[in-house]
Amino acid sequence: MRDFRTRFAPEIARVERRGLLRGALSLGAVSMLAGCDLSGDGPIDRALWAMLRFSDRVQAALFDPRRLAATFPASAITRPPRFNAYYPLRELRPIPDDWSLEVGGLVEDKRDFSLAELAAMPQASQITRHICVEGWSQIGQWRGVPFAWFLKRVGADLRAKYVAFDCYDDYSTSIDMASALHPQTILALEFDFAALSRPFGAPVRLRIPTKLGFKNPKYIAAITVTNQYPGGYWEDQGYNWFSGS
């Protein structure tokens, strides 16, 4: 943290110009505002968004890409697993028969991938804890393609800032490239030692145990590598974007 001020000099200057750090509003106070409606476009909203982006940069700088999330024995798996989405399970719609995973943005191999192609790639299994911001957690098993391997395979620009996910239920989220490349981040095809079922993310979901549950998109339709801040369904409503767990 010694070079903190140097490293974040432009951001700190920007935030200080707005008088926020000199005032009563600390980063903690701003994070408590997560959950408030920040959809307005006034000067206060813009200043708050600047603070939130600043907080994301700090969290990204503190993220250790080699530190592994805790793993558990199969006996620790929570059963039955808990479904969660921004709507109730009965409103889950079917996935189109012609599903394929669209990969675009800053990648060389911009095209669609079938489930068979994904299944033929290297797979890794993990038993990790999934933590939902709503105040519950569960331990589960997921298996799938190491996302770092996948990003290299499609020739993604690994210096790009973000990877964005768009889902079939109009959900979306996005993550930083360092977290995307973390060894435990996988494109999961399997959950609880069986093919992913529809509620838990079929055909494919992201499993990223270093982040909170809402950063683990299910029913992925498209993956985009980009330098433009993509936000996401909850992120656009003020949830902390980085959301490490």
Ligand X SMILES: Nc1nc2c(c(=O)[nH]1)N[C@H]1C(S)=C(S)[C@@H](COP(=O)(O)O)O[C@H]1N2
Candidates 13-21, 101-109, 153-161, 215-223; binding stretch for ligand X (CB under 6 A)? 215-223
Can you tell me the distance from the alpha carbon of 231 to that of 56, in angstroms, rounded to the nearest whole number?
A: 12
Candidates 11-19, 70-78, 96-104, 214-222; binding stretch for ligand X (CB under 6 A)? 214-222
The token pair at 114 is 């079938």
Candidates 3-11, 27-35, 79-87, 112-120; binding stretch for ligand X (CB under 6 A)? 79-87
Question: Between residue 96 and residue 155, which ones bind ligand X under the rule CB under 6 A?
Answer: 132
Provide the Cα torsion 98, 224, 154, 242; round to 10°: -120
Can you tell me the distance from the alpha carbon of 51 to that of 202, in angstroms, rounded to the nearest whole number?
A: 36
Q: Crossing angle for the helix pair 9-17 and 43-62, nearest 10 degrees? A: 160
> Does 243 contact ligand X by CB under 6 A?
no
Smallest CA-to-CA distance from 111 within 79, 178, 156, 45 is with 156
- The residues of the shown chain that bind Mo ion, judged by CB under 5 A, are 132, 213-214
The token pair at 235 is 């992120």
Please say whether the beta carbons of 128 and 210 come within 8 A.
no
Partner that binds at residue 142, options Mo ion, ligand X, none, CB closer than 5 to 8 Å by kind: none
Can you tell me the distance from the alpha carbon of 15 to that of 152, in angstroms, rounded to the nearest whole number?
A: 36
> Does 209 contact ligand X by CB under 6 A?
no
Q: How far is the CB of 175 from ligand X (least distance, A)?
A: 12
> Does 171 contact ligand X by CB under 6 A?
yes
Q: How far is the CB of 84 from ligand X (least distance, A)?
A: 4
Q: Which of 144, 146, 217, 230 binds ligand X (CB under 6 A)?
A: 217
Note the residues at the interface with ligand X (CB under 6 A). Answer: 82-86, 132, 167, 169, 171, 200, 213-214, 216-219
